Chain A
Amino acid sequence: MFAYIVRRVLYAIPILLGVNLLTFLLFFVVNTPEDMARMQLGAKRVTPEAIEKWKAERGYDRPLLWNAQAEGAGRATQTVFFQKSVRLFALDFGASEDKRDIAAEIGERMWPSLALAVPVFLVGLAVCVSFALLMAFFRATYLDLWGVVLCVAMMSVSTLFYIIGGQYLLSKLWHLVPISGYQGATDALRFLFLPVFIGVVAGIGASSRWYRTLFLEEMGRDYVRTARAKGLAERAVLFGHVLQNALIPILTGVVAVIPLLFMGSLLSESFFGIPGLGSYTIDAIQAQDFAVVRAMVFIGSVFYILGLILTDISYTLVDPRIRLQ
């Protein structure tokens, strides 16, 4: 097990390198440091000297990928790519292009993101599992049929409509919650109610239908039939056997998502004005702040890989037959 984890962590390094190179290329193939400088410096009274100063200050005055002027290894190391990537692997994110410390910023913005993402995740899971369980319980009745129809209908609505509609009704018409914004501590509840509610509702369709399929599959198994033949009550079969066994694929499937909760939600955060990591990323893309984009992509990939490892581990935990080599 330990050896396995070490191997996976080592395997992550080339992946992170690849990710880093890809973002670097995507950003700099068309967007030269000079473009970035002009973007940051604005339109009024920009002189070539100011641009040079800006580049030098942020270390963009070196060649991008290959330094022909340098000697030996310096050809590869005296470059923007190398200098910027090495720091990332040491988890030193540096400062954004407008000179704010990225690590401090992430530390600050992580909490609003989590405050939104974790409740959406937990409440969503609980609601969807219960709904799916209900549908499975009432299988082959009109309740099940309409449940599935409802799910497909809910899946067919774009998230944008949920958000726009929810804001319009709950905030504008009914004055129940603030339309947007965020405050820390206990005040957060008022601001989070609507985005969490919408996040959960938007996810019900796809997840419930998927979980229902899992439950039905489980119900078709022999042991369930045996249990029922023994005269066990339907309720006992459902909660005693089916739920327990069907939860395994659900939970192992869900483990991969947990680390990514840190990254926040891009759409909800920008719609509801929540100062989390999701809106940080969107802002950075719009402002072409490469330092921030690179850091966020890096963290995102780390969490993704972490999710993969967690999934593997959770498999062994729930099913002793699987061994990690």
Chain B
Amino acid sequence: MDLPVLIKEAKQGSAAAQKCIFDQLADKMLMVCRRYVKNPEDAEELLLDGFYKFFKGLPAFNYQGEAALYTWLKRIMINECLMFLRKKQAFVIVSETVAETIPLEEEALNNLSATDIFNLIVQLPAGYRTVFNLHVIEGMNHGEIASLLGISEGTSKSQLSKARSLLQKMLLQKNITYVKRSTQ
């Protein structure tokens, strides 16, 4: 069934339509949650919380295409994750104003599979991971990140810089392993 029709029926409270939407989007949304929250059980719980809010707010949602729906749902999930991290005080971000600009090795990342990139990001500490996800993947600027996390822009920049630095090291290690594996 088409997504617009499903949305229309889900708005009217059809459980079947809601289940169809859930089945279509749950996997992707779970991966979004996993990028922010390392623990799979916590991520699953946050997924359900996010979908609950999504279905609750669906009657007021004006459907303008699949991309808009996906963006809205993703934003709900990210907010849930950030609230969870804030509640659990999962990350303590030390305020720093000086940040070196370390360019990300896009080429190296492009050579990696999505699963490898996902595993690298998940290995980052919570603070670095959150800022990296928000800035690089969601495309938010440092002002938005600062207001969302309650930190200064400088701190957001320094966290991103450290995340990149750590990721470079990890990529380097990965490439070495990859080179070693390919030459053996």
A and B associate: no
- A residues lining the B interface (CB < 8 Å): none
- B residues lining the A interface (CB < 8 Å): none
